[in-house]
Amino acid sequence: MVQKNPYIGYRPTWAEVNLDNLSFNLAQIRKRIPHSTRVMACVKADAYGHGLIPISLRLVAEGVDYLAVASIDEAIRLRQARISKPILVLGLILKQDIEPLFDYDIVPTVCTEDFARVLDVMAGARGRVARVHIKVDTGMGRIGVLSQDAFAFIQKIKRLKNIQIEGVFTHLASADVDRAFTNKQLRLFRGLVNRCEARGIHIPLVHAANSMGVVSYARSHFSMVRPGLILYGLYPAKGLSIHLKPVLSLKTRVIYKKCVHKGSGISYGHTYITPKNTSVITLPIGYGDGYPRNLSNCGPVLINDAAFTISGRVCMDQIMVDVGSRAVEVGDEVILIGSSATRRITAEQLAELSGTIPYEIVCGLGSRVPRIYTPAVARSEENRQFARYERKLPVRMLETSGWPDTFCYTHDISARGLQLVTERPLAPRMQVKLALEAQREPPVHTQGTVVWARQNSVGLYHAGVKLDKSDLSGMCAGASGGF
């Protein structure tokens, strides 16, 4: 019987993600910035297509200080993978979506007073303090308070009692092409920060540097940098003096080979006609996987350390290559991004050939392409977030040391115990009585002893509870969580 590869599936097309190269790139970044400067790693868009959870777990293991995502949903996935680092949502959210910021301890970007006021009221109602980062537009023209209005804005937000301005940031618009404009942005931002300091407003995290900033503008480093692309070993511009190793390779295998006559049209529209009698192979990958259709008739591939060019149009699921009389057989490995013994194809090259940027090449790789991690990441780690997603159960704490019916929740539950997230501190050895409120079922009452307890962040506590009796087996079937 043929052994199915449990990671790749039945179609031999995959992306290899080298986590050691990610660590290497982070080390190169750290060499560029002062020792005290913090690193906020941009892991939005599924970590630029590399896989949010495995990438973030490695970055956290390497000690990055902060993670940045584009949406609350991405932040929740990180929390469900039990990543406890601070998380900033770079994009804006609507007022009606504030609740999960408290549930999951997520830091929002703020640039309107209206949003800040609602956040302030909701934080107050929960006895919490909401940390925020204020976004300043120094010339990007996207979200952010215009720099000339930013000081007054910060003063207003400063007056809100339940909000702590933890950070202020701006984004560089043209750091790869326009030095003068970038310097102007940095001057405006520096001016704002100085003005705040002069008025006694100290904001601990000041950040502006994207990858270009990290590499080429020391004055953009401030107290934290915010790289994305270079973490993944890709260059935002040519001629940069930083040594990086690409993290992602894209591979497939020859699935078919046949001989065709001179003058045969290949693929849709016959944009390639064989110039002589030849062999044409088919590869099981296409634009349905995010391989750009613009690489029709120009995309490079490597097979057995020899270079070939795609013949005809890229189809949704397949690509053809005229391999002439070269030794290429069904089953041979094909590199679309990555290195063979003496050659390499980079995402930057594919971007240039297809008229886009390397960001779009890696972000565009579809969910149909399995990501294989080296060194291997336990499947359970990679899928942690799914295992726990539906386990976020509301819990009511009953008559515990004088707390009347306190609401909290658990996302980690097993027959022996559970983890509680509460807004009040618990202490080891405390006895707790609980009512778990599963949806559409009557509440389950149980009791147990607090084994460990810690503070997660301002106003949010975490505790492990060992249950006296195993009466939750029905509720936690399939969950692996402990306490």
Ligand X SMILES: *Cc1c(COP(=O)(O)O)cnc(C)c1O
| CB-CB contact of 351 with 360 (8 Å) | yes
Beta carbon nearer to ligand X, 45 or 460:
45
Amino acid at position 378, single letter: A
Beta carbon nearer to ligand X, 122 or 143:
143
Beta carbon nearer to ligand X, 216 or 278:
216
Binder to ligand X among 144, 228, 284, 299 (CB under 6 A)? Answer: 228
Asked if 170 interacts with ligand X (CB under 6 A), we say no
What does the angle CA 234 – CA 110 – CA 158 come to, to the nearest 5 degrees? 130
User: Which positions are catalytic?
Assistant: 44, 268
With CB under 6 A as the rule, give the number of residues binding ligand X.
11
Binder to ligand X among 18, 164, 185, 211 (CB under 6 A)? Answer: 211
Binder to ligand X among 37, 164, 210, 422 (CB under 6 A)? Answer: 210
In terms of Cα–Cα distance, which of 131, 128, 167, 135 is closest to 153?
Answer: 135
Beta carbon nearer to ligand X, 312 or 358:
358
Structure tokens at 297: 């008739």
Asked if 229 interacts with ligand X (CB under 6 A), we say yes
Asked if 90 interacts with ligand X (CB under 6 A), we say yes
Beta carbon nearer to ligand X, 347 or 453:
347
Asked if 410 interacts with ligand X (CB under 6 A), we say no
Asked if 51 interacts with ligand X (CB under 6 A), we say no
Binding segment toward ligand X, per CB under 6 A, in 25-33, 220-228, 250-258, 301-309: 220-228
Asked if 233 interacts with ligand X (CB under 6 A), we say no
How near is the Cβ of 347 to ligand X at its closest, in Å? 13
Binding segment toward ligand X, per CB under 6 A, in 94-102, 228-236, 408-416, 452-460: 228-236
Whole-number Cα distances in Å, 30 to 23, 43, 227: 11, 17, 11
Sort 182 into a burial class: Cβ within 10 Å, 0-12 / 13-18 / 19+. buried
In terms of Cα–Cα distance, which of 272, 307, 314, 322 is closest to 292?
Answer: 314
Binding segment toward ligand X, per CB under 6 A, in 29-37, 144-152, 225-233, 407-415: 225-233
* SS3 label, residue 161: coil
Phi and psi based region of residue 238 (left: phi greater than 0; alpha: psi -120 to 50; beta: remaining)? beta
How near is the Cβ of 228 to ligand X at its closest, in Å? 3
| CB-CB contact of 50 with 17 (8 Å) | yes
How near is the Cβ of 62 to ligand X at its closest, in Å? 17
Binding segment toward ligand X, per CB under 6 A, in 226-234, 317-325, 366-374, 396-404: 226-234
Whole-number Cα distances in Å, 336 to 13, 151, 252, 286, 370: 10, 49, 8, 11, 15
Asked if 171 interacts with ligand X (CB under 6 A), we say yes
Beta carbon nearer to ligand X, 210 or 400:
210
How near is the Cβ of 207 to ligand X at its closest, in Å? 8
Binding segment toward ligand X, per CB under 6 A, in 188-196, 221-229, 414-422, 455-463: 221-229
Q: Which residue is nearest to ligand X (CB)?
A: 228
Whole-number Cα distances in Å, 208 to 177, 213, 244, 375: 17, 7, 21, 33
Asked if 87 interacts with ligand X (CB under 6 A), we say no
How near is the Cβ of 92 to ligand X at its closest, in Å? 11
Binding segment toward ligand X, per CB under 6 A, in 49-57, 224-232, 251-259, 303-311: 224-232
Interacting positions 120-139 with ligand X (CB under 6 A): none
| CB-CB contact of 229 with 214 (8 Å) | no
Chain-centroid distance of CA 431 in Å reads 39
Phi and psi based region of residue 456 (left: phi greater than 0; alpha: psi -120 to 50; beta: remaining)? alpha
How near is the Cβ of 236 to ligand X at its closest, in Å? 5
Asked if 227 interacts with ligand X (CB under 6 A), we say yes
Contacts 24+ apart (CB under 8 A), 102-105: 102/126, 102/128, 102/130, 102/460, 103/409, 103/421, 104/72, 104/75, 104/76, 104/79, 105/79, 105/456, 105/457, 105/460
Asked if 226 interacts with ligand X (CB under 6 A), we say yes
Beta carbon nearer to ligand X, 39 or 160:
39
Asked if 107 interacts with ligand X (CB under 6 A), we say no
Other residues' Cβ atoms within 10 Å of the Cβ of residue 175: 26
Measured CA to CA, the distance from residue 195 to residue 189 in angstroms comes to: 10
Asked if 42 interacts with ligand X (CB under 6 A), we say yes
Kindly list the residues in this chain that would bind ligand X in the complex (CB under 6 A): 42, 44, 90, 171, 210-211, 226-229, 236
